[in-house]
Amino acid sequence: MRRVYLFCNAGMSTSLLASKMQKVAEEHNLPIEVKAFPDSKMDNIIAEFNPDCILLGPQVKYLYEKVVERYGHLGHPIFVIDSTDYGSMNGERVLKAAIKKMKESEAK
């Protein structure tokens, strides 16, 4: 089971996207868990679950450097969701992007 966790300010709009991604994952029988959280909980969540992929909503892209600085050493991909995909709440494309990044980082 891979964990793909999304973070934004209150974890609200990302939770909408997360539920769409989860649905796509289930339709394709992918062993992936997608969840969304507010950025203020990031520390606890990452310490507890060590997600395999960390995604940031485009509205908190300014957190990117801080997140990489703090959790980059864990070796899991961290990236900001494409804003067009975010706007259209395209779960499939974001999920593909996440899997692609995980594959790339695991191949290393």
Partner 1 sequence: MFDKLEKYLSPVADALSKNKILSAIRDGFLITVPIVIVGSIFLLISNFPITGWSEMVASVFGEGWETYLDAVTSSTFDVVALTGVLSIGYCYAREKGVDKIAGGVVALTCFLIITPKTHIAYVNEAGKAFSGFSFGNLGTSGMFLSMITAILSVSIFAWAMRKKLVIKLPDGVPPAVMDSFAALIPAAFAMVTFFLVNIIFTNTAYGSAHAFIYEVLQAPLVGLGRSNLFEVIYQFLSTLFWFFGINGPAVTNTIFSPIHKVLTQENYEAAKAGIAMTNVFTSAFSDFFCNYGGGGSTLGLVILMAFTGKSNRIKTLGRLSLPAAIFGINEPIIFGLPIVLNPLMAVPFIFVPVLNTITATIATSIGILPITAGVQLPWTTPILFSGWLVTGSFVASLFQLAQLAMDMAIYFPFLKMLDRKYLEEEAITANESDELDDLSFDDLVLE
Say which of 8, 45, 46, 78 is annotated catalytic. 8
List, in order, residues 6 or more apart from 23 with CB less than 8 Å away.
91
Least distance to partner 1, CB of residue 99, Å: 4
| Residue (35 or 95) nearer to partner 1, CB | 95
> How far is 14 from 57, CA to CA, in rounded Å?
7
Least distance to partner 1, CB of residue 21, Å: 12
Q: Is 89 left (phi over 0), alpha (psi -120 to 50) or beta?
A: left
Q: Which positions touch partner 1 (CB under 8 A)? A: 2, 8-9, 12-13, 16, 28, 30-31, 40, 43, 57-63, 65-66, 83-84, 86-89, 93, 96-97, 99-100, 102-103, 106
- The dihedral built from the CA positions of residue 47, 99, 28 and 38, taken in this order, carries a sign that is positive
Least distance to partner 1, CB of residue 63, Å: 6
Is 8 known to be catalytic? yes
> How far is 101 from 108, CA to CA, in rounded Å?
11
Question: Catalytic positions, please?
Answer: 8
